[in-house]
């Protein structure tokens, strides 16, 4: 089945396959509904170290330390978490360390929470201003190719990258407000 709804369900599975294909052994995350399926897949795989963080910037340190020890890592976070770790991103740029980030977006398509809008609107510009290569997927069919490109770019050029997954893909949260 290749309709839009199946692609929406399948993209986390495709990303899990990409993490394995790119020899990623560490996945750092702050719990996020947009990444829930991918996080579950990572936690269930004994070959992956899925690390629950208390704040996103800890993930930057984990990726840097892992890379120094010969391991590849990925940071999963929501766009609101980008603001929490932007200062730490400079370490990856300064030390030429691959730091791929997969960011689920809030504050854009059909957002109900006004507190999510400022960082959601600024996420791409802030990351790019720091020197991070950023690409965005706003359709489920684009998620895997965008993430694959960002993983390749990070690990081949030794730099921070970010794949942004738009709210049209993950769905807008409503908490009963429609």
pLDDT value of residue 118: 83
Q: What gap in Å lies between CA 19 and CA 141, rounded to an integer?
A: 17
Q: Give pLDDT tens digits for 30-74.
A: 999 999 999 999 999 999 999 999 999 999 999 999 999 999 999
- Average pLDDT on 10-37 reads 96
In a domain, 105, yes or no: yes
The pLDDT assigned to 1 comes to 32
> Which percentage of the chain shows pLDDT scores above 70?
92
Is residue 142 a part of any domain in this protein? yes
- Mean pLDDT calculated for residue range 165-177: 78
pLDDT score for 109: 85
- The per-residue pLDDT for 176 is 59
Give the tokens for residue 65: 């330390």
Cα separation, 134 vs 40, whole angstroms: 25
Tell me if 94 is assigned to some domain.
yes
In 3D space, the residue among 16, 7, 65, 17 whose CA is nearest the CA of residue 42 turns out to be 16
175 belongs to a structural domain: no
Give dist(CA 140, CA 169) in Å, integer.
5
Check whether 117 has a pLDDT greater than 90.
Answer: no
132: left (phi over 0), alpha (psi -120 to 50) or beta: beta
What string of DSSP letters covers 26-84? EEEE---GGGHHHHHHHHH-TTSEEEE-SSHHHHHHHHHHHHHTT-EEEEEEEHHHHHH
3-state secondary structure of 17: helix
Report the CATH number at residue 29: 3.40.50.970
Domain with 82, as residue range(s), is 4-170
The total of structural domains in the chain comes to 1
């Amino acid at each position: 089945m290749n309709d839009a709804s199946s692609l929406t369900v399948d993209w986390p599975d495709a990303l899990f396959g990409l993490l394995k294909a790119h020899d990623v052994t560490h996945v750092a995350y702050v719990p996020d509904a947009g990444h829930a399926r991918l996080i579950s897949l990572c936690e269930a795989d004994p070959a992956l170290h899925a690390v629950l963080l208390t704040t996103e910037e800890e993930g930057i340190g984990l990726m840097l330390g892992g890379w120094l020890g010969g391991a590849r890592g990925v940071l999963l976070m929501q766009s609101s978490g980008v603001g929490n770790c932007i200062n730490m991103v400079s370490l990856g740029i300064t030390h030429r360390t691959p730091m791929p980030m997969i960011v689920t977006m809030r504050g854009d398509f059909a957002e109900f929470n006004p507190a999510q809008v400022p960082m959601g609107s600024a996420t791409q510009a802030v990351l790019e201003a720091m020197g991070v290569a950023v690409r965005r997927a706003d359709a489920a069919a684009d998620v895997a190719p965008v993430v694959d490109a960002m993983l390749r770019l990070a690990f081949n050029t030794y730099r921070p990258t970010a794949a942004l997954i738009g709210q049209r893909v993950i769905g807008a949260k409503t908490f009963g407000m429609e």
